[in-house]
Amino acid sequence: MKTLLKNISVLATFDDAGGPAGRELTDAGLLIDGPRIAAVGPMADFADVAADRVIDLSNHVVMPGMVNTHHHFYQNLTRVMVQDDPLFDWLKTLYPIWARIDDRAMEIAARMAMAELIASGCTTSSDHQYIMPNDCTLDTPIRVAQEMGMRFHAARGAMSRGESKGGLPPDSCVEAEEDILRDAERLIHRYHDMSEGAMTRIVLAPCSAFSVTPGLMREAAELARSHRGVHLHSHIAEVLDEELYCHEIYGMRSVGYAESVGWLGPDVWFAHAIFLDDAEIRLFAETGTGATFCPSAHMRCGLGIMRAREMLDAGVTVGLGVDGSASNDTSNMFQEARMAQYLQRVAPARYLSAKPGGRGGFGGTPAALSAREALWMATRGGAKLLGRDDIGQLAPGKAADVIAVRRDQLGLAGTQRDPLAALVMCGPFAVDYSFINGVPVIERRGFSRLDIEAALAEHGQTMARIYA
């Protein structure tokens, strides 16, 4: 089936044509042929194009679907809890509640998380499911993603080092390492798809330095690298308590520990990476190791400010992640891009080292991160972290992951001079149209594959059951 999106008011391709947003076109057209983009260009180029369906996107901004590279779907069952405690206390309070979650609850939470993401312009997401209590499996969110039509990188997380072995999580929340590796191998063989435009891929993702052993980190890396395209993901340098833990237990900083267990390279990306020093940023760049910026969670939990500007300048690939819904507490990619831009503009280190009149300096403009760079991280940056060049841009042959936002709405009044930047600096917004792999999953702000009222009712019932 061919679908023509015509009369697009503003179209940002995020292709390789130059500038963070690539080619930016006005009065443009985009032709979708099955799961791929067939053509992008000025509307005049589409005068004789025949299509099975034509959608007029006059007065809309169109861009690639965004890529969320760090999340914990199940946490929308524990939102707005533990509002004022530091991270380790936050975790210790929530672990026993998460230990009561079953597979049905995981399904309901995953559906709600994906719906929130899709509504806010996300078309591809990774999810780091590092707790597997009761009968939970990673198969369930994979099935939900297939039903919702979302492109999904399912991260098989794990915790194996409980309190009795010097870890942070209670013993009731951990798994045996042989079981973790066996299940990871099963998931790779069953679901990991390395074809162009694949909808499902598997990631191996031991949780953190304080919840797994060095042995599991090494074996997970070896297992991933024995299969083509299986990437590695974990948390790193998220909180100073983690740095102290690594010094006490391993005698080194968290990045040094990651290097010692084989966890640096272009197939590795870490969430947070807040406390990297200059040498560690250079090491990330030299090894091709990537990082996810989760600004809302960093502020919500009082963790610190990731040095995203310095990392980008050094050549580190940086993407965006909303993080878990208990530490954000939302799943809105437009909002995350906005927070990413603004938080970089108040990074203390930048002002301490700035020169008068320089970038971010006294008397100059605080242009630490532009709106287009924030959207680049949410599209091309995220795609690169996941090891993909078929998503995150609107170009012929690429996956047809396309979102559109209507310009004539209250929050966009007065933004005619730069409607693309307005998607970050105003809002946050819900998308009016979302195509994933060429399939319309949102049309005129309505889900085509989800009864949202029924989903909300199920979520409420699940909350009542878990907390009974």
- Say if residue 52 is in the same domain as residue 164: no
- Say if residue 402 is in the same domain as residue 339: no
Alpha-carbon Rg of the chain, whole angstroms? 22
- Say if residue 100 is in the same domain as residue 216: yes
| Identity of the residue numbered 436 | I
Residue 270 has phi, psi (to 5 degrees) of -115, 145
Asked if residue 455 belongs to a domain, the reply is no
- Say if residue 202 is in the same domain as residue 268: yes
Judged by DSSP in three states, 238 sits in coil
Question: Residue 7 — very low, low, confident or very high, per pLDDT cuts 50/70/90?
Answer: very high
Q: How many CA atoms lie within 13 A of 392 on its CB side?
A: 24
Task: Please state, in angstroms and rounded to a whole number, the distance separating the CA atoms of residues 57 and 26.
Answer: 11
Q: Which two tokens stand for residue 446?
A: 């309505």
pTM of the predicted model as reported, rounded to 2 decimal places? 0.94
At 363 the pLDDT is 35
Q: Are 272 and 237 in contact (CB under 8 A)?
A: yes
Question: Residue 355 — very low, low, confident or very high, per pLDDT cuts 50/70/90?
Answer: very low
At 366 the pLDDT is 56
* pLDDT tens digit sequence for 54-104: 999 999 999 999 999 999 999 998 888 878 877 778 888 888 888 889 999
- Say if residue 100 is in the same domain as residue 229: yes
| Identity of the residue numbered 345 | R
The CA distances from residue 222 to 171, 180, 217, 263, in Å, are 26, 14, 9, 10
Residue 145 has phi, psi (to 5 degrees) of -60, -40
| Identity of the residue numbered 218 | R
CATH number where 343 lies: 3.20.20.140
* pLDDT tens digit sequence for 16-65: 998 899 999 999 999 999 999 999 999 999 999 999 999 999 999 999 99
Peptide bond into 89 cis (omega under 30): no
At 90 the pLDDT is 80
Positions of E strands within 89-185: 122-129, 151-158
- Say if residue 366 is in the same domain as residue 421: no
* pLDDT tens digit sequence for 166-219: 888 888 889 999 999 999 999 999 999 999 999 999 999 999 998 999 999 999
Residue 431 has phi, psi (to 5 degrees) of -80, 150
Task: Please state, in angstroms and rounded to a whole number, the distance separating the CA atoms of residues 219 and 222.
Answer: 5
Peptide bond into 428 cis (omega under 30): yes
Alpha helices, DSSP H, located in 166-317: 177-191, 214-225, 240-250, 254-260, 278-287, 295-300, 308-314
Q: Which two tokens stand for residue 319?
A: 């993407």
Task: Please state, in angstroms and rounded to a whole number, the distance separating the CA atoms of residues 41 and 39.
Answer: 7
Q: How many domains does the chain have?
A: 2
**Residue 440: which domain range?**
2-65+392-447
The helix (run of H) or strand (run of E) holding residue 319 is strand 318-320
- Say if residue 73 is in the same domain as residue 47: no
- Closest alpha carbon to 209 in 248, 254, 239, 170: 254
At 93 the pLDDT is 86
Task: Please state, in angstroms and rounded to a whole number, the distance separating the CA atoms of residues 24 and 376.
Answer: 13
Q: Are 445 and 432 in contact (CB under 8 A)?
A: yes
431 in the Ramachandran plot: left (φ > 0), alpha (ψ -120 to 50) or beta?
beta
CATH number where 415 lies: 2.30.40.10
Token pair 């287009």: residue = 372
- Say if residue 57 is in the same domain as residue 171: no
Question: Residue 348 — very low, low, confident or very high, per pLDDT cuts 50/70/90?
Answer: low
Please compute the mean of the pLDDT values over residues 426-446 and round it to a whole number. 95
- Say if residue 256 is in the same domain as residue 109: yes
Please compute the mean of the pLDDT values over residues 300-326 and round it to a whole number. 93
- Say if residue 299 is in the same domain as residue 427: no
- Say if residue 161 is in the same domain as residue 268: yes
- Say if residue 319 is in the same domain as residue 431: no
Q: Are 184 and 139 in contact (CB under 8 A)?
A: no
pLDDT higher than threshold 60 for residue 364: no
Report the DSSP pairing between strands 36-42 and 24-33. antiparallel
- 439-451 residues labelled b (16+ CB within 10 A) or e (exposed): bbbbeeeebeebe
